[in-house]
């Protein structure tokens, strides 16, 4: 007769005998077994019983529920069901080993059956199961022996073990890839871990050759004794050794240097259980230190000679400085001649215009018989009747018309003369401006100029005064915005005035006289001991290619220019330890001239 779960609970043979032997009444038996069953259920452990005679596997509901399965879907009627209830659920990779292990235990069911394998969950995943069991012999004549066992889901533990295993692999890969020697020793100073660098440093082929050995075993000299004593000191005292320089001899006998660190590793009670060591090869650094020391000695021997050379260089530098100042003054003087040449050229152009307009006036004067013609016209009109009687009315009318037209033409000539006179006055004004500039250049100066304190604010005011007539006549809005500060530099007043005048003239000439707005602004500030002067106009502007050529000697955008103005201006500014640049966002977008001086 095949026992069922109910049969086993109600008639468990060994338990019943135990109850009887301990004087427990039979009526208490079922109650105690129910308590035992509840205890097993509370532990969330799958319970199975395998009946050897019938090959029937009985399982409790937890056995199936931990696999996401329903116990009612499996045949527990007492028939042979080991394959469907167990073997078919095992992972294919684990099935052979599990079947073989269980079969071997069935042949010789002694001691404890134990195995680990994966079983398929209802959702398709695999769960690791820890299966354990023991033979339970029937003491009655039935000899219906069974194996009672448990299933415990250890999937989380297996995943944790796998993660730890992977971390160990990664850690091992890391320490074996590092160039530093890394090792771990037990409390007796014996190596239990040695990375590749440490194995190579010792001069052996594999880690196995050093494991279980102390430094005394590995280095049969004072180096081994030193290392072992250091290990024992760290293990016994708990005090680490941090970055200590020490030498050793490699497999070839070559002296090498390590930066050694030895740290005690403690358990949760604070007891030292291991020693972690790291060695960083500093042989190259030590060699470099030796070379540096030798170099310092050589440099020390040469210090006297270098001091002497320094004095010579100091004297040479003074000489070069004096020579540079002389060349600078020479360049300034040369620049003045070039600037004077440019202004003379401007005067020449003005005089050409002056001569042309004089000729035009002369021609108009020669043709001016306006009063005579007017008198003739009046005479003809008063004598028109008499003349008509003599030559006819038509001819008399035509004669009067001709004389009137001649009078109108002569009147136009007079107007032309007036315009010419106005233009001539403009030319004369231009000549006066040029002459004023020339006077400033030559007034009280000859030869080399001595650098004296120059106030840039005053220079700007003087330039505005000199160009006021031209600016006002052309209807240009001229504004000056100077922030509070010191704008005094040491330099040549005349040269600096010429620079600003030249820049302002360029801005005036760049402005379209037909434009709705004509503006020139001067802005200046002193920030961090750097004077920043900007002259901003809304004139015709220029492109980047043209801007790159402004300071090339001989380049000009003016019809009659010489290409020396901006070139000379930059030379003057740079001779005053300054800089000059002109920027524009493009044609028609005006220009900004930036002049900077270091105070």
Lowest mean pLDDT among 211-220, 317-326, 453-462: 317-326
Q: Give Dmax over CA atoms of the chain in angstroms.
A: 184
φ/ψ of residue 592, rounded to 5: -130, 120
Distance CA(407)–CA(379), nearest Å, equals 13
Distance CA(483)–CA(530), nearest Å, equals 13
Please compute the mean of the pLDDT values over residues 125-139 and round it to a whole number.
88
Q: What percent of the chain has pLDDT over 70?
A: 78
Give 454-480 as a 3 state SS string.
EEHHHHHHHHHHHHHHHHHHCCCEEEE
Give 185-231 as a 3 state SS string.
ECCCCCEEEECHHHHHHHCCCCHHHCCCCCHHHHCCCHHHHHHHHHH
β-strands 519-527, 477-482 pairing: parallel
Distance CA(140)–CA(73), nearest Å, equals 33
Q: List the one residue out of 100, 5, 101, 15 whose CA is nearest residue 51.
A: 5
Place 142 in a pLDDT band, splitting at 50, 70 and 90: low
Answer whether 49's CB lies under 8 Å from 57's CB.
yes
Residue 312, both tokens: 């010579």
Place 9 in a pLDDT band, splitting at 50, 70 and 90: very low
Res 464 pLDDT > 50: yes
Distance CA(309)–CA(107), nearest Å, equals 102
Res 106 pLDDT > 80: yes
Lowest mean pLDDT among 332-346, 452-466, 484-498: 332-346
> What is the overall mean pLDDT for the chain?
82
Q: How distant, in Å, are the alpha carbons of 86, 164, 170, 332 from that of 173? A: 40, 14, 5, 74
Res 447 pLDDT > 50: no
pLDDT digits (tens, 9 = 90+) for 344-381: 556 655 665 665 666 666 666 555 566 777 777 787 77
Distance CA(441)–CA(449), nearest Å, equals 12
Res 12 pLDDT > 70: no
Place 438 in a pLDDT band, splitting at 50, 70 and 90: low
The CATH code of the domain at 450-598 is 3.30.565.10
Q: How distant, in Å, are the alpha carbons of 337, 358, 474, 499, 503 from that of 348? A: 16, 15, 23, 21, 21
**Which 3 state secondary structure label does DSSP give 349?**
helix
pLDDT digits (tens, 9 = 90+) for 72-91: 999 888 889 999 999 999 99
**Kindly report the CA angle at 350 between 348 and 354, in degrees rounded to 5?**
115
Distance CA(459)–CA(480), nearest Å, equals 12
Residue 539, both tokens: 């004139």
pLDDT, residue 525, reads 93
Q: At what angle do helices 384-391 and 370-382 cross, to 10 degrees?
A: 70
Q: Which of 2-16, 22-36, 136-150, 304-318 has the highest mean pLDDT?
A: 304-318
Residues ≥6 apart with Cβ < 8 Å to 315: none
Res 421 pLDDT > 80: no
**Which 3 state secondary structure label does DSSP give 598?**
strand
Q: List the one residue out of 599, 573, 580, 578 whose CA is nearest residue 331.
A: 573
Please compute the mean of the pLDDT values over residues 323-350 and round it to a whole number.
64
Q: Which long-range contacts (CB under 8 A, 24 or more apart) does 176-183 make?
A: 179/281, 180/278, 180/279, 180/280, 180/281, 181/258, 181/277, 181/278, 181/279, 181/281, 182/276, 182/277, 182/278, 182/279, 183/276, 183/277
pLDDT, residue 21, reads 56
Give the bridge partners for 482, in sequence order.
524
Helix or strand holding residue 482 (H, E): strand 477-482
Give, in words, the CATH class of 5-154: alpha beta
Give the bridge partners for 489, in sequence order.
454
DSSP string, 37-98: HHHHHHTT-EEEEEETTTTEEEE-HHHHHTTT--GGGS--SSS--HHHHTGGGB-HHHHHHH
β-strands 519-527, 530-537 pairing: antiparallel
Res 482 pLDDT > 70: yes
Res 594 pLDDT > 70: yes
Distance CA(113)–CA(99), nearest Å, equals 12
Rg (CA), the chain: 58
Structural fold of domain 178-289: Beta-Lactamase (3.30.450)
Please compute the mean of the pLDDT values over residues 419-426 and round it to a whole number.
66
Lowest mean pLDDT among 253-257, 292-296, 415-419: 415-419
pLDDT digits (tens, 9 = 90+) for 36-82: 666 666 678 999 999 988 899 999 999 999 999 999 999 888 889 99
Residue 161, both tokens: 């073990």
Please compute the mean of the pLDDT values over residues 538-559 and round it to a whole number.
83
pLDDT, residue 13, reads 45
Distance CA(448)–CA(334), nearest Å, equals 10
Place 446 in a pLDDT band, splitting at 50, 70 and 90: very low
Answer whether 16's CB lies under 8 Å from 3's CB.
no
What residue has token string 């007036």? 418
pLDDT digits (tens, 9 = 90+) for 564-579: 578 888 889 998 989 9
Is the pLDDT higher at 370 or at 188? 188
Q: At what angle do helices 370-382 and 393-442 cross, to 10 degrees?
A: 160
């Amino acid at each position: 007769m095949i026992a069922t779960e109910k049969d086993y609970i109600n008639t468990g043979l060994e338990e019943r005998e135990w109850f009887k032997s301990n004087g427990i009444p039979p009526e208490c038996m079922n109650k105690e077994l129910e308590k035992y069953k509840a205890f097993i259920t509370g532990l969330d452990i799958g319970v199975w019983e395998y009946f050897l005679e019938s090959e029937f596997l009985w399982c409790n509901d937890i056995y199936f529920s931990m696999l996401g399965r329903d116990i009612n879907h499996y045949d527990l009627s007492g028939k042979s069901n080991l394959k469907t209830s167990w073997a078919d659920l095992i992972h294919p990779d684990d099935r052979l080993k599990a079947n073989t292990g269980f079969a071997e235990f069935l042949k010789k069911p002694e001691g404890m059956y134990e195995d680990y394998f994966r079983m398929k969950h209802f959702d398709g995943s695999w769960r690791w199961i820890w299966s354990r069991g023991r033979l339970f012999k029937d003491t009655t004549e039935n000899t219906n022996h069974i194996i009672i066992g448990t299933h415990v889901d250890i999937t989380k533990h297996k995943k944790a073990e796998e993660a730890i295993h992977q971390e160990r692999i990664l850690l091992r890969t890391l320490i074996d890839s590092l160039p530093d020697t890394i090792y771990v020793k037990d409390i007796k100073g014996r190596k239990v871990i040695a990375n590749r660098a440490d194995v190579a440093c010792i001069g052996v082929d594999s880690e196995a050759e050093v494991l279980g050995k102390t430094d005394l075993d590995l280095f049969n000299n004072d180096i081994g004794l030193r290392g072992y004593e250091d290990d024992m000191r760290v293990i016994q005292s708990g005090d680490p050794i941090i970055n200590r320089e020490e030498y050793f001899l490699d497999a070839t006998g070559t002296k090498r240097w390590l930066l050694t660190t030895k740290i005690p590793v403690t358990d949760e009670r604070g007891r030292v259980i291991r020693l972690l060591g790291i060695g960083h090869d500093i042989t190259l650094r030590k060699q470099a230190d030796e070379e540096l020391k030798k170099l310092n000695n050589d440099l020390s021997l040469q210090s006297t000679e270098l001091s002497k050379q320094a004095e010579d260089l100091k004297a040479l530098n003074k000489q070069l400085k004096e020579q540079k100042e002389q060349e600078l003054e020479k360049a300034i003087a040369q620049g003045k001649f070039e600037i004077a040449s440019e202004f003379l050229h401007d005067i020449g152009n003005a005089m050409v215009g002056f001569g042309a307009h004089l000729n035009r006036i002369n021609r108009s004067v020669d043709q001016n018989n306006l009063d005579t013609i007017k008198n003739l016209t009046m005479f003809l009109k008063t004598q028109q009747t008499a003349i008509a009687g003599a030559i006819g009315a038509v001819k008399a009318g035509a004669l009067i018309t001709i004389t009137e037209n001649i009078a109108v033409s002569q009147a136009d000539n007079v107007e032309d003369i007036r315009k010419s006179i106005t233009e001539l006055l403009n030319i004369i004004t231009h000549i006066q401006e040029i002459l004023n500039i020339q006077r400033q250049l030559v007034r009280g100066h000859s030869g080399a100029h001595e650098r004296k304190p120059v106030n840039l604010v005053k220079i700007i005011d003087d330039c505005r005064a000199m160009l006021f007539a031209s600016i006002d006549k052309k209807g240009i809005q001229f504004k000056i915005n100077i922030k509070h500060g010191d704008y005094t530099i040491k330099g040549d007043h005349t040269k600096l005035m010429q620079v600003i005048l030249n820049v302002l003239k360029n801005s005036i000439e760049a402005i379209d006289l037909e434009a709705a707005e004509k503006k020139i602004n001067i802005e200046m500030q002193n920030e961090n001991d750097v004077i920043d002067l900007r002259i901003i106009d809304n004139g015709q502007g220029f492109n980047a290619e043209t801007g790159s050529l402004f300071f090339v000697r001989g380049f000009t955008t003016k019809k009659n220019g010489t290409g020396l103005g901006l070139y000379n201006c930059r030379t003057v500014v740079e001779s005053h330890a300054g800089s000059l640049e002109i920027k524009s966002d493009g044609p028609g977008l005006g220009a900004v001239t930036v002049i900077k001086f270091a105070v």
